[in-house]
Each structure stands twice: as structure tokens, then as C-alpha cells.
Amino acid sequence: MVEKKKATTKKTESKKEDTKKVAPVKQEVKKQAAAPAVGSTTKQEARIGVFICHCGTNIAGSMDIPAVQEYAKTIPNVAYVDNYKYMCSMPGQAVIAKAVKENKLTGVVVAACSPRLHEPTFRTATKESGLNPFRFEMANIREQNSWVHMHDQVGSTDKAKDAVRIAVAKAALLQDLFPKSVPVEKAAMVVGAGVAGMQAALDLAAAGIKTYLIEADMSIGGRMSQLDKTFPTLDCSQCILTPKMVDVGRSDKIELMTWSEVHEVEGYIGNFDVTIRKKARGVITPAEATERGIVGGGCNGCGDCENVCPVVKPNDFEVGMKPRKAIYINHPQVVPLLYTIDFNSCVKCGLCVTACGPEKRAIDLEAKDEFVKVKVGTAILATGYDIFPIEKKEEWGYKRFENVITSLEFERLICASGPTGGHLVRPSDGQTPKRVAFVLCAGSRDNTGTGKPYCSRFCCMYSLKHAHQIIEKIPGCIPYIFYMDIRSFGKMYEEFYYRIQDEGAKFIRGRVANIVEDKTTKNLHVMTDDTLLDRPIDMEVDLVVLAAAIQPAADTNRTRKLFGVSCSMDGWLLEAHPKLNPCGTTTAGVFLAGVCQGPKDIPDTVASAEGAASAASIPIHMGEVELEPYFATCIQEKCAGCGMCVNLCPYSALSLVEKDGRTVMEVTEAKCKGCGTCGGFCPGGAIWMNHFATPQIVAQIDAFLLGGEQ
Amino acid sequence: MSAPGNFAIPERGPGIWQPKIQGIVCNWCSYAGADLAGGGRIQYPPDIRIVRVMCTGRIDALFVLKAFADGADGVLVSGCHFGDCHYLEGNYKAAKRMFMVKRLMKSIGLDDRRFRMTFVSASEGAKWGAVVTDVVNMVRELGPSPITEFKIK
């Protein structure tokens, strides 16, 4: 074994330049060292190399790097110290590789930014230098030092010295670890079938991946299907969306599950076991009818049932402005064309069953929720948004005054398929308004605590579009736009803004302070301060449209917890990195598409969906993924078999087994995610957490508080 | 910041005692939150040294006690909010252990205000800065750890 190792080293040295030939040699090294003794620390003397990064002036500007370097030389086990302006650059990484080889280092410490940013970079560099990539430890002297102690040179330099000492203490005890490869299920899941979810599913399907598309509503299309026109091109929203909806329905790679919710998620990247709750629909498809032996039966969308249903409820799709029955479809172009019974309002009179007839027999009033289990390799969340309940901002009178509506209600009123057939009318008297006020930032950019602090990002633009629509449809009608700033940041958006100005819309810069209703005419007085003319305004209008803020969809919080995805303070789902990984999450194999990650207009939503689909298809096409080898391992000589850890494990990865006449714990590595909850409790210290082992953590604590001496 | 606490950044300089505070934080929430504080240039006192673990569930009560035995003037454990743990429920289990540590500290005559467990998410950079500042101010008020008196110098 020793001879073999020597031979390998020679080979590596002689063929240093020829990287192609070096690659298979490295694999040989990997195989030889594949079985480190569990629980043992390094036998050979640790020789650690410390590399300090200036990060330009990000780090060097706030601390004395030469002092840290001089100090690092005095730390036990340190064999080499160097610094470089940008350690993450190619030459910076080359410094590491060269130093490891020349100084026979056993571990690498890089004092630079956060390991959450560049740990993978330096692990690769460590690997390329011939060491095991897990022989690397990072000292965070940027995010948690130079950037947060910018005016305290002494304090930050001392902290950096300690950080290096702590990292060296851990690096000296690190072991070789080998990531485990697991196969990836060749299927994906998309949660939410709005424009983002549909685009992601279509892209995955086009890449040849079986995709489960889960939608909580009875039909797909999401918010975009409620819109009339889209800015700035004035494309008809339905016209550009319907082909996509039809494609989703037609694709043989997409298994569409509407009226369904994710109920439970187990597993990890490559192997998610997802349980889906198919809510009782009460109506069966032709395929389901055939399965039940009703040949030629099932729902064909004729609508006979709807005609006879005696229950009348407000239609949510039309924002409550149109009635629906207990058995209904959202709108005429729905995909799938399949009626659904709202069992919360159904009185089970059976009239629909009779109307449906003995041939189709599509209605089943005794339907129950069904649970379906599927296995997928990756998942995309595209759960979208809801409108902020703007009645909370009482001063604008929504739900108090009949003629104050939200933009979504405006969309339905101006839409040809909407409740009024595209005629914009005042809800109070059905008259056509001649003066319409648009209140922008209604609940957005609001620091009072009632509304949302963020910009909802598309309200300015759709309000401009609304202004255009009323100028176009109602001769003589004047739109008044009350704004704080017009944010027209996208491609051709600013040009659209100019166009609307030229068309005659009136712009008044001022946040609306109050809206008062005239009790007799039901007209509204919009009161604000015109901040450009510096004078108070009291304007009488016929209709007020509130461009309400948006917030994460109601079920987002539940869904994200099932997938282990974090959220920001506003509830939007948290991306892995705001700049460089906007579609990824901290849960490997779970991605974000569309507005669930933060407010986006349609182009951005579609782009993010395509990005998420591309990211989600990578592990599936790779066929296998490497899992970080932070598994728990049982040191069986120390294990007393008490079984406390078995109940602590949230993943049921631990079990008690009989071995050599003793009861000991055993870890199922495929189930272990490496949280260490077992290792944090084990009274006998019998659980060895790879890379976060007790001796390693204690060494870090000692290194800080005892100055590296035990 | 409406929460109670002292969030004024304390003065530093020659002759002013500086506490040694051991932080043990989880990778997914509080460490990320601390990174976000860096990105946002939220300034806080440099008296804390962080050990990163994957989950607060990993934190053995003995780690905290070892830090105090080694002479730490304060210990801060920080993880995800309840219900937000990357590993489902590690923070609940950690919190239970940390209550035990607090009781133990009281019974051996060590002020349990020297030890704190907080919940800082990956999006709460400003909160991380406030938490560290408050912990530093609290430990400064309490003075050097009495354990250091018993240490053999």
C-alpha cells in the first residue's frame, strides 16, 4: 500500500503538466484512501497552509493583513502562510496548489469571504492540489469581520487572527471524506401552474423529462389568465397564454394534476417521495370513466350540470363580480375542460347527476380526497401571489365605498370575457365613468406597518396600461394617475410611459391621503398633496382603482415548509443567492420560478421559469448527484445501545441492531442528511459527525478561548 | 427595533475591557444571516467568534459548558426560527437542551444571562447585528466570567 502511494506521487509529479493524464491517477488515490478509521484523528503530523485573501480592499481595507500573516506563522501546525489579492482568482488558486505540493501540506485554510460563497471554489482548488477536498477549512474574515467592523482596525485584526487560529485547529483534525453518489429519478415536479409553472413544465417536458404539474385551483393559467391585456405591447393576455395552456394539456410528458396539493415530501435531491392530495372533485374525466367501465362516459365540458345547479356563489376567478354555481368551471377557455364541484357549497340535491345523464355518468357526489405518491428527482416551486387585502388601508375606502375597486377587478371589468363583457362600469350604478383615478403604491412601499415595505414592481406599468385602455375604450374619459414615482424600468417600458402621457393621461405626484365618498352621487373625492405644484388636491372622480400590493399566495408558507425552503421577512421564498443563484434554494434539488421568489412582471417570470427548468433538468440529465458526506457514523465500541438518538432523528435514519452480541446503533447513510441532532445528544459521545465531529468543534472552541493550547 | 435590549454599539479602546464571546450558529439561517449583515455592512462589536455547525441540533450542551469552562464571558447559540429548521426540528431539540444549560448555570452560580439562544433567519442581517450588539452589551454589564478566577494561570 505504501509503495503504491509512493508510485502515485511520482506519477503525479512527472505528469504535472499533462492534466488529462493526471485525472485517472487521482481516482486511484481516492480508492486507496477510501476507508478512514471512524473516530480517529489524523495519525500523521498536521501541516496546515494558511492563505489570506485581501479581496481587493474589501478585507485589506479594514484590517492589518501583514499582522495577521505574521501571527499565523506562530500558530501550531501551520507549515506555510501566504497572502494574495484575490485568492479566488485563477492565480490565487494556483498559489494554493503550488504551496500544497511544495510544502507537503495536509490541510488548507483560506481566510477570505464566507464559506457559503467560496467553499466550493477552494475545495476544488484543494482537490486539484492533490489533497482530499474536505481537508479544507475557511476562516470568514469578510462578511463576518471586515465588512461589519469597518472602522475598528484593531478589533477586526484581532478577530481575524482568532478566526485563522480557530480554522487551523479544525483543519488539523479534518479527515478525508468522499461524497456519495446517488442516482436521480428521471422525473420532475412543478408546484403551481401559472405562467411560471407552465413554462417550467413545458421546458422540462421539451427536455424529455417526465413532469408532474400540480395546481391547487381547478384549472391552469394562474393570475395571467385573469388579465385582459399585457404591457407594454398590449398583447391580449389570454391569446398568448391559451396556446401554452393547451400545450400543457396536450404534452404526453406532463402529468397535469389540478385541484391537487402537495401533502407530504420526503427524501432528498434525486429522490423526493412526494404525496399529492387530489381534492375531491366530484367529476370524473373520460379516462377515469373508462377505468370504471363507463365506456364513452366522463365529463366532456358540456355544462348541462351547471345550468341546473340551484346553488349560487360569487365566482373567485371574476373577483366575486359574477355568480357561479356549486358545479362550475372558472372561464370558457379552461384547461383541463373539466367541471368541478365545490363541496363546501354543494347541497347534494342530485340535479346535476340527472342532467349529466346515464351515458356520461361523470358526476360522483360521494367522491373523497385521494392521495397519490410520486417519485421525482427535482422540484420547482411556482406558487405565485395573492392581492394584498387593501381594505386594511382604511383611508382608501375599499369595501366601504362601492366605486373603489382594485386593479384585478378593473382587469376583469375591462376584459371581453369578464362579467360586463368588457364594459367598464361603476359598481354603484352601472354607469360608464368619465373620470377615473388610479392610486399607485396602494399598500406597496408602505412603512407604516399596515402595508408592504417593498415595491410590487408591476403596478406602475399595468396602471399605465389601464389608463391607455380607458382612453381607447371610453371617449372623453380622463385617467388621473396618483403616483409617488413611475417605475418603468423594463424594455420598452419608458417609451410606453411617454406614449400614455401623450395620449392624455393626467399624472399627479402625491400619495393619496384620503378618499371620501359623496353620499348622494357615490362619486369619490381623492385628496392628496401635489408634491410638484406644492398644493393640496381634492379631486372628484367617478371611479377609483387601487393598484394594490401583492403578497405571497396563501398556501406558500405551508408548501415551502414541506420542501424545506426558507423565506424572507416578507414571506417571499428565499433564493440560494440573490445575484448568482436566484432560482436555486438552500435545499438541493428544489428551485424557484416566478413571483413566489419576489414580485416580477411576466417577462421576468417567464425568464425565471426557464432558468429554474434548466437548473432542475441538470441533475436529471447528469443521472446522479453527489451528496455532501456529512453523515453521522456510529463508533460502535462506545455505543451503549440506549437508543435515545433513534427517536431524535427527524429522518428515521437511525436504528438499533444486534452486533457481536451487543445492541448498537446503525446509520442508514442514504437517509441521513447530516444535521447532527443525534450527535449533539449522544450521552456516550459515540456518534461521529463527519466534518463536524465533537473533537473538531471542541478544538475550535479551545483554539479561541485557550489560544490554541489544550 | 422594538424588542427590549441595548443596541447601542459600545465604545472600545485601550483600558476598556472586552469580553470573549463564543458563538455557535447553524449554517442555514443564522450563519447566512450573519453573512447578510456583512453584505449590508451592518456594524456590530467584534467581540464574538463563530463556530459554524450544520444545525443547532448538533450543539451538545457540553460545547456550551466547555466554552464557559475555557473562560468564555458569554455564549450565543443561534439558529433558525421555529418551524423553519432546514432539518425540520433540530432547533426545537437544541432549544430544549439550551434551557437545561440555563438551569444548570443557575444552579452552579453562573449568571444565565451570559448564555443566550436566539433565532435569526437567513434574511435577518440587521437582526443579527442587533443580537450580537445586545449580547456584547449584556456581557459587558456582567463583567468578566467568574470562572476565569479559578483558572490556573
Q: Which of B53, B72, B88 lies closest to A676 in CB terms?
A: B53
Q: Å from B122 to nearest chain A CA?
A: 7
The vertex-A121 CA angle with A116 and A127, nearest 5°, equals 125
To the nearest whole Å, the CA of B139 is away from the closest chain A CA by 16
* B2 confidence band (pLDDT: 50, 70, 90): low
| b/e map A232-257, b = 16+ CB within 10 Å | beeeebbeebeebbebbbebebbbbb
Query: In residues, how long is chain A?
Result: 710
Mean pLDDT on A618-646: 93
Cβ of A368: how many Cβ atoms within 10 Å?
Answer: 8
Question: Considering only alpha carbons, which residue of chain B is nearest residue A151?
Answer: B43
User: Exposure pattern of A647-682 as b/e (b: 16+ CB <10 Å)?
Assistant: ebbbbebbeeeeeeeeebbbbeeebbbbbbbbbbbb
How far is the C-alpha of B142 from the C-alpha of A202, rounded, in Å? 61
Cα–Cα dist A345/A191, whole Å? 26
Question: Facing residues of A404 across strands?
Answer: A544
| Cβ atoms of residues A540 and A421 within 8 Å | no
Residue A367, min C-alpha distance to chain B (Å): 33
pLDDT range class, residue B153, cuts 50, 70, 90: low
Is the pLDDT confidence value at A153 over 80? yes
* Helix and strand totals (H; E) in chain A: 18, 34
Residue A41 pLDDT > 50, yes or no?
A: no
Q: What's the distance, CA A450 to chain centroid?
A: 25
Angle formed by the axes of helices A153-171 and A65-73, nearest 10°: 30
Using the predicted structure, report yes or no on whether residue B111 has a pLDDT greater than 70. Answer: yes
Angle at B82 between CA B96 and CA A138, to 5 degrees: 85
Provide the ipTM.
0.96
Q: pLDDT tens, A222-234?
A: 999 999 999 999 9
Q: Which three cell numbers stand for residue A249?
A: 394539456
Measured between beta carbons, the chain B residues lying within 8 angstroms of A586 are 28, 32, 86, 122
Q: Are B23 and B146 in contact (CB under 8 A)?
A: no
- Selected for mutation to probe chain A from B12, B21, B26, B35 (highest A CB count within 10 Å) is B35
Q: What is the 3-state secondary structure (H, E, C) of B67-128?
A: HHHCCCCEEEEEECCCCCECCECHHHHHHHHHHHHHHHHHHCCCCHHHEEEEECCCCCHHHH
Closest-CA residue of chain A to B127: A569
Q: How far is CA B52 from the centre of its chain?
A: 12
Cα–Cα distance between A596 and B2 in angstroms, integer?
29
Residue A27 in this model has a pLDDT that exceeds 60: no
Cβ-contact A678, A632 below 8 angstroms: yes
Higher confidence at residue A710 or residue A348? A348
Question: Which of B14-27 are b and which e, b meaning 16 or more Cβ less than 10 Å from the residue's Cβ?
Answer: eeeebbbbbbbbbb
Q: Which residues contact A90 (CB under 8 A, 6 or more apart)?
A: none
Cα torsion at A574, A575, A578, A583 (round to 10°)? -150
Nearest CB among B37, B51, B97 relative to A697 is that of B51
Contacts of A293 (CB under 8 A, 6+ apart): none
C-alpha cell at A530: 401635489
Listed in sequence order, the residues at least 6 apart from A645 whose beta carbon sits closer than 8 Å to its beta carbon are A654, A665, A678, A681, A682, A687
pLDDT tens digits along B125-148: 999 999 999 999 999 999 999 988
Question: Which residue intervals of A15-75 are DSSP H helices?
Answer: 19-32, 65-73
- Nearest chain B residue to A706 by CA distance is B70
Q: Quick check: A347 pLDDT over 90?
A: yes
Of residues B45, B49, B60, nearest to A680 (C-beta): B60
Tens digit of pLDDT for each residue in A283-295? 999 999 999 999 8
Q: What count of other Cβ atoms lies within 10 Å of the Cβ of residue A121?
A: 18
Contacts of B38 in chain A (CB under 8 A): 114, 142-145, 147-148
Q: How confident is the model at residue A9 (pLDDT cuts 50, 70, 90)?
A: very low
Contact call for B37 and A143, based on CB within 8 A: yes
For residue B132, give the 3-state DSSP assignment: helix
- Residue A292 has a CB neighbour count (10 Å cut-off) of 13
Contact B106, B146 (CB under 8 A): no
Q: How far apart are CA B83 and CA A449, in angstroms?
A: 24
How many separate helices (H) and strands (E) can be counted in chain B? Answer: 5, 4
Identify the weakest region by mean pLDDT among A7-16, A143-152, A596-605, B138-147.
Answer: A7-16
Give CA–CA dist A48/A68, Å, rounded.
16
Q: Please answer yes or no on whether A705 and B87 come within 8 Å at the CB atom.
A: no
Tell me how far apart the alpha carbons of residues B36 and A577 are, in angstroms, rounded to a whole number.
Answer: 11
pLDDT, residue B83, reads: 83
For chain A, what is the mean pLDDT?
A: 91
Size of interface A-B (CB pairs under 8 A): 161
φ/ψ (deg, to 5) at A328: -160, 170
Q: Are A248 and A198 in contact (CB under 8 A)?
A: yes
The grid coordinates listed for A217 are 385551483
Confidence of residue A7 (pLDDT cuts 50, 70, 90): very low
Q: Has residue A662 got a pLDDT over 50?
A: yes
pLDDT in tens, B30-87: 999 999 999 999 999 999 999 999 999 999 999 999 999 999 999 999 999 998 898 8
Cis before A232 (ω within 30): yes
Tell me: cis bond preceding A336? Omega within 30 of 0 counts: yes
Give the Cα separation of B136 and B43 in Å (integer). Answer: 13
Nearest C-alpha neighbor of A550 from the set A489, A500, A501, A595: A595
Q: How far apart are the first and last CA of chain A?
A: 34
pLDDT band of A26, cuts 50, 70, 90: very low
User: Do the chains contact at A149 and B43, CB–CB below 8 Å?
Assistant: yes
Nearest to A478 by CA among A458, A509, A500: A500
* Confidence band for B1, pLDDT divided at 50, 70 and 90: very low
B41 CA: distance to closest CA in chain A (Å): 5
Q: What is the pLDDT of residues A460-474, one digit of tens each?
A: 999 999 999 999 999
* Pairwise CB contact (< 8 Å): A148 & B97: no
Mean pLDDT on A541-567: 94
pLDDT at A392 over 50: yes
